[in-house]
Amino acid sequence: MKKVLIIEDEEKSRKMIIKKITQLMSGKVEIDQAENGQIGVKFAMELKPDLILLDVEMPVMGGIDAAAIINRQLPDTNIVFLTAYDKFDYAVGALRSGVKDYLLKPVSDNDLQNVLNKYIGEFSQKEEENSTFNIALEIWLSNHFMENVTMDDAARFVGVNTSYFSRKVKIMTGKKFSEHLTEYRIRKAKEYLQFTDLSISKIGERVGYPDAKYFAKVFKKHEGETPGICRRKLRRTQGSKNDTKF
């Protein structure tokens, strides 16, 4: 669920915006609130919201200072200023703090809807891009994991440069590309061990390790046991499952 943080010192205005967002988004977002910039920064670091609606002038810490801190720590979070009509020029100048947009108070339903569509929708697009990247990566792996491949090969297939590809894989999987490839190969190797009678050396060839000794070394490092021992355990587990069916 998307997260929206409202940082506004005027309680009446804050509650009204929360009510409007709840109605416009039909409860599809999680809404949190803070009454000044200092508390708002603290909440932002804890909650990591997708969108922050931030009043420009507040006690304790103003919106410009709060926006600068949040933007440094959470560059992917969209920040939109809330400002009164007579502070319009001030708010426009403050956009240099890393704020993406502004809303004039009192906030209209139409303007608020446009902001929600623009910035919450942007995150949906990012999620779609991530999904597309992940699908492309898995398709490439399923077709080439058994070959002598490099990260450059995979990046070319996905259609991005190698540096971006490397960062993206790390973000998506939590692993380096080489680690993700190894994990995929070992998973396939275990399937062969369990469901076929192929020799261990032949399985190594099928999953991209033509050198049997190197395959055994990589497998043991990843699984903590040799392919042979793993095969016996997998077969034993499969046998137990089959026995319970009768």
**What is the residue-averaged pLDDT of the chain?**
87
CB 106 within 8 A of CB 84: no
What pLDDT does 83 receive? Answer: 83
What pLDDT does 239 receive? Answer: 65
Per-residue pLDDT reduced to its tens digit, 128-185: 677 778 888 988 999 999 999 999 999 999 889 999 999 999 988 889 999 999 999 9
What CATH number belongs to 2-107?
Answer: 3.40.50.2300
CATH superfamily of 136-243: Homeodomain-like (1.10.10.60)
Query: Mean pLDDT, to the nearest integer, of 21-33?
Result: 87
Per-residue pLDDT reduced to its tens digit, 185-233: 999 999 999 999 999 999 999 999 999 999 999 999 999 999 999 999 9
> Which residues partner with 80 through β-bridges?
53, 101
Distance CA 178, CA 193 (A): 22
Per-residue pLDDT reduced to its tens digit, 37-84: 999 999 999 999 999 999 988 888 988 889 989 989 998 899 999 987
Distance CA 241, CA 223 (A): 22
Which of 238 and 110 is assigned the larger pLDDT?
110
Read off the tokens for 17: 């915006």
Domain boundaries, the chain: 2-107, 136-243
CB 83 within 8 A of CB 54: no
